[in-house]
Amino acid sequence: MPKHAAPSSPKPAPDIEAAPRRKRGRPAQDANEGLRRELIEQSARLFREKGYGDTTVRDIAAAAGVHAGSWFYYFKTKQDILQAVIEHGLTVALADIEAIDVDHLPPREALLQLVRAHLYTLLAPEQDFIPVMLYEWRSLDAAAQGRIIALKDRYEAIWTRIIERLHASGDWAQPTPVDRLLMFGALNWTAQWYQAGAGISIDALAEQAVRFILRTSP
């Protein structure tokens, strides 16, 4: 690495190593993760608002405040960023429900906590990732879909454990595969109609959803 000597003087200053060079045009390393996260978050918002097909690379770059060419230092294609959006959302959602002690809580309480976490993932402010997954994941190629399916399987396996406990306790008399599909269908559809501050909180919605799923009265 080149060194620069100080000008002639009675007592020369020690040599100082020059700062390491980086490739021209590439963002500094310490800024990489922050800008990558910003691109993912802005892409999630745009994909949800405009749809994946109608969102351009220029739209994403403009929303993140970068030049269109800089976008490609982080993602090679628009499909790559769609995959990153969905994987990020599923990874966070999975961590949230893995933190719930579904094997030791009373079954009904465990279901309530799962439903609440699921609804917050869908409905809390700036939670665009899972709604994008629900409606856009088929835009991914087969390999990327396989990665998403593996994460979804881990997510749903936790629900399967609590459904089995609910059945064993008698809280859910005869859960069927169709019941499971209807449950997720109803929960996921809330992303289409729920409005914060419009009459019901997410916590209250979760309680009503559990009563609906288990076919019980208040």
- Dist. CA 154–CA 133, nearest whole Å: 15
The whole-number pLDDT of residue 6 equals: 42
pLDDT of residue 217: 55
Q: Is the pLDDT of residue 9 over 50?
A: no
Residue 154: exposure state from Cβ atoms within 10 A (0-12, 13-18, ≥19): middle
CA 31 and chain centroid, separation: 21
Residue 12 pLDDT > 50? no
HSE (CB half, 13 Å, CA atoms) of 186?
15
Sequence-separated (6 or more) residues with CB below 8 Å from residue 16 = 3, 4
Residue 173 pLDDT greater than 90, yes or no: no
| Joined tokens for residue 218 | 């208040």
Handedness of CA 161, 165, 115, 185 (dihedral sign): positive
Query: Domains of the chain (ranges plus CATH)?
Result: 77-214 (1.10.357.10)
Note the pLDDT tens digit of each residue in 43-82.
999 999 999 999 999 999 999 888 877 777 889 899 999 9
- % of the chain with per-residue pLDDT over 70: 85
Token pair for residue 171?
A: 């809280």
Cα separation, 39 vs 64, whole angstroms: 6
User: CA torsion sign, 139 to 62 to 127 to 77?
Assistant: positive
What DSSP character marks residue 3? E
Global pTM value: 0.79
Two tokens, residue 60: 């994403």
